[in-house]
Amino acid sequence: MADRGDRGGRGGRGGRGDRGDRGDRGRGRGRGSRGGPRGGFSDQPSSDPAGGDFSRPRGGGRGTYPSSDGFRGRGGRGGRGFDRGGRGDRGGRGDRGGIRGRGGGSFYQPPPAMDLGRAEKDAEHENLEDMRLGMLHSFNADDLSSQMQQTTLGSESKALQSQLPTQAFPLRPAFGNQGNPVLLWANYYTMTVKASSLWKYPIKVEERSKKQTKDEGSSKQPRIKAPGAGTAQEVKGRKLHLVMEQVYKFFSAQTLVATEFKSQLVTSQQLELETNPMLVTLPTEDGTGKEIEFVVSILKPTEIRIGDLLEYMLTQKSKPHQFNFPPFPECVDALNMILGTQPRASPQKITAVGSSRFFPFGDGFEQEKAGISLAGQGRGRPLEGLRGFFQSVRVSTGRLLLNVNVTCGVFRASGSMTGIFRQFNAGGITNNDADQRYRSMLTNLTKTLSKARVRVTFMIGNGKKVERTKTIHNLVMAHEVRRSKDKNSPRVANGFYFAGPKQVSFFLEEDGKGRYITVADHFKNRYGMTLEDYPLLNLGSPAMPVFFPAELITMIPGQSIKAKLMQDETTKMLSLACQRPDVNATAILTAGRTTLGLDNEVLSQWGMGINNKLLAVQGRELQVPRIKYLSLEKKPAFITPQKGSWNFRDRLVTRGATIPTWSVLQIKLYSQAQMLNEQDIKNFEKNLRNNAPESYFSVLFSVPSRSFLSTTFTAPN
């Protein structure tokens, strides 16, 4: 069992189909012992593995379906020590957004685990924890009750902040002493920080104007200067990231700078702002020669006093105005921003999801990337699962800890669009008004591809081949094209809901004359290309469509998507998400450090250092509880878990229901409706008796059906 810091680990409740170790909850019910954050991995011999042992298999519990930040899957929840991370010196949750679930799986094969060596105790921090515990337990119970009454929530909390006590929460009375003491690994690194102060600058970015350059088709370099007059509007998404990239590079020439590429800068010293606000000019990504101007305002900075945090960790004493939980959130946010800057600065190689999850996918990360295709035949959802890493700074007793965890997310599939269409047999587009299955599959496909960023390769007027980045609006649909009321608007052949290049025509003006021509004929005549019957894509908008064939389009990798997975997709995702603790630990020590840049020399310039070994904490191995079920003979049966897991085979988990009498009521909705007779009802009863799972039904019907209501009712027209 991994303990929970000052509160100690919570002993075991046993596993639910091996839910993994919850700071070793898989053994007994006793209290754990003190130490660092929850979770960990035992270095005890595998003959009788302790909680958190790397060799521990996982089994089936129940998770949830995917949410926006990540998919959690169905199945074992994973170790709460290893998978959920810590929260200060109590340990904590870490990242729950990733996929978790049933162990094993035949779809994804993880690399072999590495030898982690042996965990070692940290006597210095144990003594500090003992001192802290003694100090906290010196509080009188009446004093503690009085202090807790002063704790308020809501708008009054700020006004009363100066009156808040330094200790307003009850503590666990003691450390656990049951079971055998063991040393465990936790998914934490110790980290050091030497800086005494940092500076945080809020940033405001607004888009001001657009203009056309003289050199058509050229791409100018970004530049920064003082802004002139002009209107402005808020900037979001990829535009904001590109602007913040230029701001980050500009100020990096002055001092050390960190950012989340949205609205903040953290610097090692105050900036020299000769021009504020400033104008950032970026070329558009379509290569048309247009430029976009952005006004960037650097607002008043705030000093982040890291020295106060370091003093608090060593003394565990906070001043009344500093009382907060978790303590020193501004310092923790600044340190998280510094650690996240390096992976965020490479969006072509690493995708950042949320504030703390990073997924490697690009060049140079071939060894770190791990993924699996989630596409199902006929489903029409080109998705893939990728493994990534979560990181978060935690305040602990006498030291800072970096919680690192394995997480998984759902992404759009990458590659050529023709390959994606072939995967779902979407070629040879036909009259899909009559083929509902084909139409349903293409509907799912357009939902998944909508708003995806793609690279388009095409020829320009001088015969030069160019590549541009564009965004998919959707697959071309007849009802959307026909909605246009403009003169000479595009046309779609009758009988097609989704259309290909042979079914879509547009008005082409040549030599002062105009005529309608299909997309297929245009590419054949103009570029000598013979297009296949793949669905056509609209890379423009409903009002201004821009048609491109699949042959010219490539999906850009690393695009996360919010999607609720289907059952077969979930099964595949679980094979990637649910790995043994030793496999996850190996990933954290190898691919995790590379992805997160924990060995980057830039961190040392900030005065930060990340230990290269996992944190060792104390835990206790408690007695294995016996699990009681019913056998198939309806008699009590006991199971003793082995290595934290057990099997439901030949065990009942519910008592079957009894239905002593029952009847059937038929309602005739129309005159030609087929009605059931009594033999049909008996066949239905027989089928339920023969096929109902024994795990759920002991007696389905106690007596044969005796009441059959032959009277019918005709529903009104």
Query: Are 610 and 387 a contacting pair, CB within 8 Å?
Result: no
Mean pLDDT of 421-434: 76
| pLDDT tens track for 230-270 | 556 778 888 999 999 999 999 999 899 999 999 999 999 99
Residue 594 is assigned to a structural domain of this protein: no
Look at residue 236 in the predicted model and tell me its pLDDT: 87
Residue 226 is assigned to a structural domain of this protein: no
Main-chain phi, psi angles of 369, to 5 degrees: -75, 135
Give 704 or 336, the one with higher predicted confidence: 336
Mean pLDDT of 382-401: 93
Look at residue 82 in the predicted model and tell me its pLDDT: 41
> Measuring CA to CA, which residue among 687, 708, 651, 568 is closest to residue 107?
568
Give 178 or 556, the one with higher predicted confidence: 556
Q: Which of 555, 585, 606 is the last residue of a domain?
A: 555
Look at residue 109 in the predicted model and tell me its pLDDT: 59
State the total domains in the chain. 2
CA 549 to chain CA mean position, Å: 32
Find out whether the peptide bond into 326 is cis, omega within 30 degrees of 0: yes
Residue 691 is assigned to a structural domain of this protein: yes
Look at residue 577 in the predicted model and tell me its pLDDT: 92
Neighbours of 530 (CB within 10 A): 10
For residue 510, pLDDT beyond 90:
no
Query: CA dist 301 to 195, 264, 307, 689, Å?
Result: 17, 10, 18, 74
Structure tokens of 250? Answer: 């500009």
For residue 343, pLDDT beyond 60:
yes
Question: pLDDT tier at 164 (50, 70, 90 boundaries)?
Answer: very low
Residue 635: beta bridge partners?
none
Look at residue 466 in the predicted model and tell me its pLDDT: 86
Q: Which residue has the tokens 């210095």?
A: 124
Cα distance between residue 714 and residue 705, in whole Å: 24
| pLDDT tens track for 90-134 | 433 334 333 333 333 334 556 665 666 566 667 777 777 777 666
Give 462 or 583, the one with higher predicted confidence: 583
Cα distance between residue 595 and residue 578, in whole Å: 20
Look at residue 304 in the predicted model and tell me its pLDDT: 94
Mean pLDDT of 180-196: 92
Neighbours of 235 (CB within 10 A): 21
Look at residue 142 in the predicted model and tell me its pLDDT: 56
Cα distance between residue 98 and residue 269, in whole Å: 36
Considering only 121-125, 210-214, 545-549, 563-567, which range has the smallest mean pLDDT? 210-214
Give 90 or 391, the one with higher predicted confidence: 391
Look at residue 259 in the predicted model and tell me its pLDDT: 95
Strands 713-714 and 667-668, bridge-based pairing: parallel
Look at residue 495 in the predicted model and tell me its pLDDT: 83
Any residues with CB less than 8 A from the CB of 568 and at least 6 apart, and which?
376, 379
Residue 264: strand, helix, or coil: strand
- CA angle 111/116/122 to nearest 5° reads 150
Neighbours of 459 (CB within 10 A): 14
671/551 same-domain check: no
> Measuring CA to CA, which residue among 178, 108, 173, 115 is closest to residue 144?
173
Look at residue 561 in the predicted model and tell me its pLDDT: 94
Question: In which domain, by residue range, is 709 found?
Answer: 667-714
User: Which helix (H) or strand (E) covers residue 585, if one does?
Assistant: helix 581-587
C-beta contacts of 244-247 below 8 A and 24+ residues apart: 244/203, 244/205, 245/345, 246/222, 246/280, 246/282, 247/203, 247/280, 247/296
Structure tokens of 381? Answer: 């959802």
Structure tokens of 43? Answer: 């270095």
DSSP for 345-411, written as a single string: T-TTTEEEETTTEEEE-STT-TTT--EEE---TTT---EEEEEEEEEEEEEETTEEEEEEEEEEEEE
Q: Percent of the chain having pLDDT more than 70?
A: 67
Residue 546 is assigned to a structural domain of this protein: yes
Mean pLDDT of 461-478: 87
| pLDDT tens track for 609-661 | 999 999 988 888 888 888 888 777 778 888 888 877 888 777 777 666 677 77
Look at residue 650 in the predicted model and tell me its pLDDT: 72
Residue 603 is assigned to a structural domain of this protein: no
Cα distance between residue 430 and residue 280, in whole Å: 49
Q: Tell me the average pLDDT of the chain.
A: 75
| pLDDT tens track for 563-615 | 899 988 999 999 999 999 999 999 999 999 999 999 999 999 999 999 999 99
CATH number for the domain that contains residue 528: 2.170.260.10
> Measuring CA to CA, which residue among 393, 7, 70 is closest to residue 78?
70
Look at residue 224 in the predicted model and tell me its pLDDT: 63
> Measuring CA to CA, which residue among 411, 256, 270 is closest to residue 337?
256
Mean pLDDT of 652-679: 77
Question: pLDDT tier at 322 (50, 70, 90 boundaries)?
Answer: low
Any residues with CB less than 8 A from the CB of 339 and at least 6 apart, and which?
391, 393, 402, 596, 597, 598, 603, 608
Look at residue 314 in the predicted model and tell me its pLDDT: 83
Q: Which of 555, 583, 606 is the last residue of a domain?
A: 555
| pLDDT tens track for 365-376 | 888 889 999 987
Cα distance between residue 204 and residue 191, in whole Å: 32
CA-atom Rg of the chain in angstroms: 32
Residue 76 is assigned to a structural domain of this protein: no
Give residue 643's identity as a one-letter amino acid code. Answer: K
Q: Assign 3-state DSSP to the chain and report helix, strand, coil percentages, each to 5.
A: 25, 25, 55
550/672 same-domain check: no
Considering only 208-222, 287-301, 644-658, 668-682, which range has the smallest mean pLDDT? 208-222
Look at residue 100 in the predicted model and tell me its pLDDT: 37
Look at residue 231 in the predicted model and tell me its pLDDT: 55
Look at residue 344 in the predicted model and tell me its pLDDT: 94
Any residues with CB less than 8 A from the CB of 249 and at least 6 apart, and which?
none
Residue 559: strand, helix, or coil: coil
Q: Which of 509, 524, 555 is the last residue of a domain?
A: 555
Neighbours of 153 (CB within 10 A): 6
Look at residue 415 in the predicted model and tell me its pLDDT: 93
Residue 46 is assigned to a structural domain of this protein: no
Any residues with CB less than 8 A from the CB of 6 and at least 6 apart, and which?
34, 89, 90, 129, 132, 133, 136, 171, 172, 397
Q: Percent of the chain having pLDDT more than 90?
A: 36
Considering only 458-462, 492-496, 616-620, which range has the smallest mean pLDDT? 458-462
Residue 518 is assigned to a structural domain of this protein: yes
For residue 24, pLDDT beyond 60:
no
Query: Are 317 and 158 a contacting pair, CB within 8 Å?
Result: no
